[in-house]
Amino acid sequence: MSGMKAYLDRSLDVIKRNTVNTLRMNPTPRPGPLAIFSFHNPPVTPLTSIATGCDADIGGVSTAEVTMVEESGVDGSAAPSHMSFHGNLSLHVPPEFAGRIRTGYAAFRSKTRPTLFGDDTWNLELYSHLRVRVAYRGWDGWRSKFVCNLQTDGPVRSDLFQHRLDLPSTYATSDPRPLPLATGLQFTTLHLPLSNFVLTNSGLASETQVEMMRQKVRTVGFALLGGGRQTAPSDAKIREAQHGHRVAAGGWGAPSPNEEPDAEMAELLASDLGDASYVRKPVRAANSASAGGYHRVGESAEAFLDEAERAEAGLEDVGEAGYYELCIQSVEAVRLDPESEVEDADE
């Protein structure tokens, strides 16, 4: 599909959605699930709509890619199983970049979707949770360090609302070596309360927390934050930044060589220089309480952990490198009834 046709199709979709919403005029709408990513059931999200990045883009040695994994359908033909976000995450800093970059991150997110009326966005105002069908494979040292990121159509594009993922350990391994892609996995359903997402900027919890603008969510993504993130940059690093040297890389990075340049990625990376006057004030969510493989309504795994809390929880950097693989079947916005813990609308 050409870029112009996709642009016009998105613009037409905006008109259709607005028309339908106007005609319904339901004062108490009960929305069904809103698909954000679908890698198992049609219509399948194309991988061309996803941008990836990792610390290799600024001098690190980590890798990141997305691959559609297929399985045999009932008639023997190939059918989509899930999307695999995989690679090798390394905390290694090449000598020439010592003290100037932060390594140990890899991420992917939806690309922005320009239309005649501005960027298309997801309206999550009527929803309470993100429902994620997910599995984790790879080194167990990275399993507890994944987060979900939401970017809204706000004035500061480097602001991300972030929530930690409580991933199952079914396929985690103590061996950091790469694994071949696989099918037949057992997927877990996570429900992430939208009210528990924490505002971050350049990888740190924002000192001032504001409510998420749920009506206009521009991008949705997932990141592996393995390590190398300081509470605040040193005075020496700030001086380096003032002389034009890159001193931080806690965000998204740039696209890989075989991808089109992504302006949003570049903007997020450029914003990640830090501020010597910044003081981190972590915002604590409710204590973790999981049951049946998902976050219970009204409770959640801690949305954000600072470095001291990571160390207390045994999540400190325990290795130099290891394979990771986040397997995703779908990401949807849903509304749950907090009393019965069931979804308001039939699926």
Q: What is the pLDDT of residues 74-95, one digit of tens each?
A: 888 999 999 999 999 999 999 9
Indicate if the pLDDT at residue 5 is higher than 70: no
Nearest to 173 by CA among 144, 141, 202: 141
Name the residue with tokens 């194309």: 46
Alpha helices in the chain (DSSP H): 3-24, 235-242, 263-270, 307-312
Residue of higher predicted confidence among 122 and 6: 122
The strand pair at 290-291 and 294-295 is best described as antiparallel
Question: Residue 11 domain-assigned?
Answer: no
Query: Whole-angstrom Cα distance, residue 154 to residue 331?
Result: 22
3-class secondary structure, 229: coil
The whole-number pLDDT of residue 206 equals: 85
Query: pLDDT tens digits, residue range 188-215?
Result: 999 999 999 999 987 778 888 889 999 9
Name the residue with tokens 């603008």: 213
The whole-number pLDDT of residue 13 equals: 65
Question: Residue 344 domain-assigned?
Answer: no
Query: Whole-angstrom Cα distance, residue 197 to residue 89?
Result: 25
Structural domain of residue 329, as residue ranges? 34-335
Indicate if the pLDDT at residue 228 is higher than 90: no
The whole-number pLDDT of residue 199 equals: 94
Number of domains in the chain: 1
Where residue 285 sits, what CATH number does that domain have?
Answer: 2.60.120.260
Query: pLDDT tens digits, residue range 255-267?
Result: 334 444 455 555 5
The whole-number pLDDT of residue 158 equals: 76
**What's the predicted TM-score (pTM) here?**
0.71
- How does residue 1 score in pLDDT terms, banded at 50, 70 and 90? low
Q: What percent of the chain has pLDDT over 70?
A: 62
Question: Residue 280 domain-assigned?
Answer: yes
Query: pLDDT tens digits, residue range 146-165?
Result: 999 999 998 777 789 999 99
| 98, two tokens | 């010592």
Question: Residue 320 domain-assigned?
Answer: yes
What does 171-199 look like in DSSP terms, one character per residue? EEES--S------S---EEEEEEGGG-EE
- How does residue 102 score in pLDDT terms, banded at 50, 70 and 90? confident
Indicate if the pLDDT at residue 253 is higher than 70: no
Indicate if the pLDDT at residue 285 is higher than 60: no
Question: Residue 219 domain-assigned?
Answer: yes
Question: Residue 267 domain-assigned?
Answer: yes
Question: Residue 141 domain-assigned?
Answer: yes
φ, ψ for residue 48, nearest 5 deg = -70, -15
Question: Residue 341 domain-assigned?
Answer: no
The whole-number pLDDT of residue 52 equals: 97
Query: pLDDT tens digits, residue range 25-48?
Result: 555 567 899 999 999 999 999 999
User: How far is CA 191 from each of CA 100, 210, 275, rounded to the nearest angstrom?
Assistant: 37, 22, 34
